[in-house]
Amino acid sequence: MIVRANIENLIFNFSDFYIDGETNELFIIFGNLYVNKVFNDFPVNKIYNISMHIPKNLPEQLPVVYDICGQVSDTYSHKYKDHSLCLGTTMEIYIDFCNGMSLSQWIDRYIVSYFFSYEHYMRFGEYPFGERDHCLGPLEFYREYFCFADLPNTFEFLRKIKDEPYRGHLPCPCNSGKITRKCHGSKLLPLFQFNAMGQVCKDYDTIFRMVKKYDEQNNKRAK
Ligand SMILES: [Zn+2]
């Protein structure tokens, strides 16, 4: 099984982790994550006690990481009430797994960065690599992914693509005048190949609701 081999590789690379349990749906991994990283002269050298739930149907379901010893403050905005960590947007992590990211790479790319950002934020009140907030985070991800200059254009692009099949020979939904294949096709096609358009629709709905709420609040204030 692919996930099991992936986990064996993880335990080979991170010897402080071990499999603590297994259900029909997932593996439970426990252990110490050693973070030793310096960025802009700020060093973090610390051990974090975490548990990871790794679904067997990865990447349809994504792994979840829990801060089991309360090393991340409960008031931190990127920690959920069940003590799991908000590592990034669903879509970016999903695409990385679809592109072959191993669990070991996932730990380096997402969990180590998470703890480093946390310590940096607690020390300086700001994020070292920029922040994606919970609500606009997904839109910000799509903006970067599709290389748009601003969020409104990104939002409009999502609205156009979310319910349409991929048509490489037709004009690109970004209005560049080029056909899709020669414009955003190389970014758009993988989303279809990875079966990710359902997530695009979900993200669009979330962003839509948020923008509406934001507009309503602004209208109230203007009155
Ligand atoms: Zn385009």
Residue boundaries of the structural domains of the chain: 2-124, 137-222
Q: What share of the chain is helix, strand, coil (3-state, %, to 5)?
A: 45, 20, 35
CA dihedral 212, 75, 145, 35 (to 10 degrees): 180
Angle of helix 185-193 relative to helix 90-98, nearest 10 degrees? Answer: 80
* Cα of 191 from ligand 1 centre, angstroms: 15
16, 111 Cβ separation under 8 angstroms: no
Q: What is the DSSP string of 138-149?
A: HHHHHHHHTT-S
- Residue 117 CA to residue 102 CA, distance in Å, equals 22
Q: What is the pLDDT along the chain (223 residues), one digit of tens a residue?
A: 578 899 999 999 999 999 999 999 999 999 999 999 999 899 999 999 999 999 999 999 999 999 999 999 999 989 999 999 999 999 999 999 999 999 999 999 999 999 999 999 999 998 887 776 666 788 999 999 999 999 999 999 999 999 899 999 999 999 999 999 999 999 999 999 999 999 999 999 999 998 888 888 888 877 6
pLDDT at 210: 87
* Cα of 4 from ligand 1 centre, angstroms: 39
* Cα of 146 from ligand 1 centre, angstroms: 8
Tell which CATH classification among 3.30.1490.480, 3.10.110.10, 3.40.50.1970, 3.20.20.20 matches the domain 2-124: 3.10.110.10
